[in-house]
Amino acid sequence: MNEAGKKPKAVVVGGSIAGLSCAHALILAGWDVVVLEKSCAPPSGSPTGAGLGLDPLAQQLIESWLGPPGLLHKASMPLTIDQDQATDSEKKISSTLTRDENFNFRAAHWADLHGLLSNALPQDIFCWGHLFLSFCSSDDKTCVEVKTKVIETGKIIKIVGNLLVAADGCLSSIRRSFLPDLKLRYSGYCAWRGILDFSDNDNSEAIMGIRRAYPDLGTCLYFDLASGTHCVLYELLNKRINWIWYVNQPEPELKGNSVTMKVSSDMIEKMHEEAEKVWVPELARVMKETKEPFINVIYDCDPLEQLFWDNVVLIGDAAHPTTPHGVRSTNMSIVDAAVLGECLKKWGVANLHSALTEYQSIRLPVVSKQVLHSRRVGRIKQGLILPDRKPFDPQTATPEDCQELQQKNMPFFADVRSVVDLHLPFPMEHTCWQPALGALFIYNIQ
């Protein structure tokens, strides 16, 4: 409570997974929360969107926020296997490069996870259709005023809180206000992606074929590598297959504040033609039968030097834009939110600077290494140049080369599970936080 006996208030800009996770964590920490989201309503049905891989710690945190046990389990599919394989584009055959059968992730559709997190929150905290415009902090840094526009009416309103949380994605306008010269780094490739819904015909030739070619679909995260390119494939709940195909190319020109490109029918047709040249026929057919595939331009950012300024803090992709190859973006956002909530709960609004300092000291060393590792893995799988090794060729790679492809090589990956139930032998306020504890932050799940 603040001096007036009222709960402290946080304004969260961004209503995607990071923003919703932050709302859960801050409410549990005793804060009032307002979530500003420019979309005019929550997503309905199953719109075009991304599949997500959730690690064990993220799963536990989400389950702790949802209340009734098992909701996440029912809304996701197991990913118990992490497999990299090589495709010979000429012979149209595949061979296993490396396989980890103790992966223990789960796969969810973005819209399904968003619905779970959103429905478990008080609905009066959401301001849908509110476009963030600007903010300013009070002279004594005890409050921040956020200006937003109601898209439907054009009305400008002001909301005052003690803390502003930037969960507004990799193109964060809030981050830009502090780091105006910071530029995202183009990875050198874009990603075609899509979700094939086969709920109406699960015995089609395309589905039976893809299950023959990828027999562990339903439990496996497949990484299929050809020369200078790779594809990701896994199954989602409700008979959907998620695929992502990374293609090396010059940086395209983006329009608007989005890293997603609209595609024409000609672009899609050319993609189908190239898929038939590169991939086994079963995978190329899945791509061809997918409705409304789209392109993400892949960016990341060199690690930031700080994650907060006065009473403004960055979480999720606003804090650490990352390439997707380490399956980290969503997981980092969820842990960011949990750590921020615990720090705010520990220090209280009267010691906001200490809370944000501790959040930063816990998360920054971890996410920095994970961003750089994801960048490296992406360049390896795309056959791009790295200073310390030759371009990766899946047809001639040694077993030692292939081991570097595994997800479990992600910094701090192996420790995630163990700390959930860890009890430190000393109080938090005397802890010298090591980077590992940032990935393994102790979150007491009740």
The Cα-based distances of 286 to 46, 91, 245, 320 in angstroms read 19, 19, 12, 32
**pLDDT at residue 3, as a whole number:** 55
Residue-wise pLDDT for 129-150, tens only, equals: 999 999 999 999 899 999 999 9
Pair of tokens at residue 26: 């801050």
Measuring CA to CA, which residue among 248, 415, 338, 395 is closest to residue 20? 338
**pLDDT at residue 43, as a whole number:** 76
Specify the pairing of strand 220-226 against strand 185-197.
unpaired
CATH number of the 9-72+112-183+305-379+410-439 domain: 3.50.50.60
Q: What's the start-to-end Cα distance of the chain, in Å?
A: 22
**pLDDT at residue 441, as a whole number:** 44
| Interatomic CA distance for residues 106 and 53, integer angstroms | 6
Measuring CA to CA, which residue among 170, 391, 114, 107 is closest to residue 297? 170
Edge-to-edge order in the sheet of strand 144-150: 130-137, 144-150, 156-161
Q: What are phi and psi of 292, to 5 degrees?
A: 55, 55
**pLDDT at residue 261, as a whole number:** 87
Name the fold adopted by 78-106+185-300.
D-Amino Acid Oxidase; Chain A, domain 2 (3.30.9)
**pLDDT at residue 174, as a whole number:** 97
**pLDDT at residue 364, as a whole number:** 95
Strands (E), 69-184: 77-79, 81-88, 93-100, 105-109, 126-128, 130-137, 144-150, 156-161, 163-166
Per-domain residue ranges for the chain? 9-72+112-183+305-379+410-439, 78-106+185-300
Residue numbers in the chain where pLDDT is lower than 50: 46, 416-446
| Interatomic CA distance for residues 10 and 16, integer angstroms | 16
Q: What is the DSSP string of 229-262?
A: EEEEEEEETTTEEEEEEEEE-PPPPP-SS-SEEP
**pLDDT at residue 190, as a whole number:** 97
Residue-wise pLDDT for 294-305, tens only, equals: 999 999 999 999
**pLDDT at residue 415, as a whole number:** 61
Mark residue 349 as left, alpha or beta (left: phi above 0; alpha: psi -120 to 50; beta: remaining): alpha
The structure's pTM equals 0.91
